[in-house]
Structure 1
Amino acid sequence: MDGMQIGIMVAVWAAIALVVVLLWKRRTSVAGQYRRVTGTLKKFASIRSYKVLQDITLDCGKETVHIDHILVGFFGLLFVNTQVENADYYGEEREEYWSVVKDDVKTRIKNPLNEGIAAMDAARKIFAKNNVYNIQMEQVVVFTSAFKKNVLYVKDTLPIVNVRKLGSLLSKTRFEKDNGVDVEQLVKLLEENKVK
């Protein structure tokens, strides 16, 4: 090999290494972690004729509530809040706020479980106004940081999973069950009643 060929090979390997680093950074970024949850939900929904709504804000009467994702399927609705901060989380099921500790700095966030309950209540009100009743609803909070690196000081019986476990949660038979839900109707009602 002459110097030109060696130079071309080095440039190709450098380009490949750059692409790998950029893809890794994209995947581990906040937006990348959020997209992992979105991708898992959309993959599950696509082969079942389900729908995934993203970044939905619903009116709860005096205030509004934001939910990251709503999976709408024949089973009903799954409300998904995503926590992407690589930090330690401390919280109780009924507390108004949870503590988040990152790099020895403590902050507080609204309890994501309470936000899910508020979003379910808002959806029920929307459906009741339109004579739609008995829709099965549940929620889950998805943490994208690795539980090995970060600690979650929350009861393990709560509807909380790591992003890696989201797929196995969705594979439960209750998400395959056909409860006679009109997916298109519910999506339309939620879209029409979301806060702009």
Structure 2
Amino acid sequence: MLLAAASQFWWAWLLLALVAIARLPQVKGWLGELWIRLVLAVGLDGKSGRVVHDLTLPTADGTTQIDHVLVSRFGIFVIETKNMRGWIFGGERQAQWTQKIYRRSFRFQNPLRQNYRHERAVAEVLGVDPEMIHSVVVFVGGSTFKTPMPDNVVRGLGLLSYIRSFREEVWSEDEVEDMVATLEHGGLERSRHTRRAHVEGLRERHSAPAAPGCPKCGSAMVKRKARKGVSAGQEFWGCSQYPACRGTRALQ
């Protein structure tokens, strides 16, 4: 009797299994990126630029994985997706933000800082001034901002409004096509091996000694490489808030 009753509600067990799978971090991330793919595909017409998804670029200390890069005549937008629920607390200069679900709180890296690495990688591959790159963080999944957020941190469809707020043409159609081709050529193959190597690289990097604080503003610092002058090619610590802060430290 019990087995027969359970078999009649197989759909309920299947639904519970799907809900459990959807809550896995990797699956949540994939669903969030899929949603933004649809938003960009439907919300932007063909003249609004071209999007490169799931782009993994080599860097000086490993690789960096970028959810979406929109290259348009009005700018280059590096988009980081966060599929989260609950209340979100954070500030532009804070190293850690907070997600609160009922009475539980979780800390996570400031996504603007996370996207900073992506911006610099895109700028280096394209050979453009980093100032020409626009960082955008978009939250999906029913989250609510409980603190004021910068204009480039949006929820869901707010991504389209932010992109459309840029109306001055800075690139020609030919330049857009060339940059998209450069990104595709410079990116690593989209494969399980690439993703596994990237994750392993993240683990090694995060297990390394913490970066020093900026001597000027106290923010975390990141490794950079001098491009000009007598120190060209040499690495140094640079403030993660550049260009707002230009603090530096020599590598020990």
Common fold, TM-score beyond 0.5? yes
Q: Distance in 2 between matches of 1:60 and 1:94?
A: 24
Instruction: Give the TM-score normalised by structure 1.
Output: 0.68
Cα 1:173–1:62, aligned 2, differ >3 Å: closer, same or farther?
Answer: closer
Q: Distance in 2 between the 1:127 and 1:60 partners?
A: 13
Quote the RMSD (CA, aligned, Å).
3.0
1:23-49 deviation line (CA, Å, top 9, x unaligned): xx8xx9845543332112123444216
- Whether the 8 Å CA contact 1:45–1:52 is kept in 2: the answer is no
Q: Where do residues 13-28 of structure 1 align in structure 2 (5 Å cutoff)?
A: none
1:138 partnered with 2:137: no
Corresponding residue number in structure 2 for 1:161 = 154
Say which SS state the counterpart of residue 155 (structure 1) adopts.
Answer: coil
The answer for the alignment partner of 1:191 in structure 2 is 184
Match among 169, 175, 182 for residue 177 of structure 1: 169
1: CA distance, partners of 2:75 / 2:163: 13
| CA–CA separation in structure 2 for the residues paired with 1:134 and 1:109 | 25
Given that 2:83 and 2:141 are in contact with CA atoms closer than 8 Å, whether structure 1 keeps it comes out as yes
Matched-pair contact (CA < 8 Å) for 1:45–1:51: no
Distance across 2 between alignment mates of 1:106 and 1:59 = 34
Aligned twin of 2:231: none
1:190–1:82 Cα change, 3 Å: same
The within-5 A match list for 1:1-196 is: 30=28, 31-48=30-47, 50-128=49-127, 136-146=132-142, 150-174=143-167, 177-180=169-172, 182-195=175-188, 196=194
Amino acid at match of 2:91: E
Distance change >3 Å, CA 109–CA 192, structure 1 → 2: farther
Q: Which residue does the alignment assign to 2:4? A: none
Cα distance change of structure 1 residues 127 and 164 upon mapping to structure 2, 3 Å threshold: closer
Identity percentage of aligned residues: 24
Deviations 1:101-125 (A, max 9, x none): 2343333322211122211111111
Tell me: CA distance 1:44–1:183, structure 2 relative to 1, closer, same or farther (3 Å). farther
Range with bigger deviation, 103-112 or 116-125: 103-112
Partner amino acid, structure 2, of 1:161: V
Q: What is the match of residue 222 of structure 2?
A: none
Q: Which residue of 2 aligns with 1:5?
A: none
AA in 2 matched with 1:180? S
CA-to-partner distance for each residue in 1:51-93, whole Å, 9 max, x for gaps? 1111222233224332211111122211111111112222221
Output the amino acid matched with 2:103: D
CA deviation profile, 1:161-189 (whole Å, cap 9, x unmatched): 11132232233243x73532612221222
Distance 1:122 1:34 in 2: 20
- Which residue does the alignment assign to 2:210? none
Distance in 1 (CA, whole Å) between partners of 2:62 and 2:170 is 33
The change in CA–CA distance for 1:93 and 1:49 in structure 2 (over 3 A counts) is closer
Residue 100 of structure 1: CA displacement?
2.0
Q: Is the 8 A contact 2:151 2:162 kept in 1?
A: no
CA distance in 1, matches of 2:43, 2:52: 13
Greater RCO (Cα-Cα under 8 Å, separation 6 or more)? 1
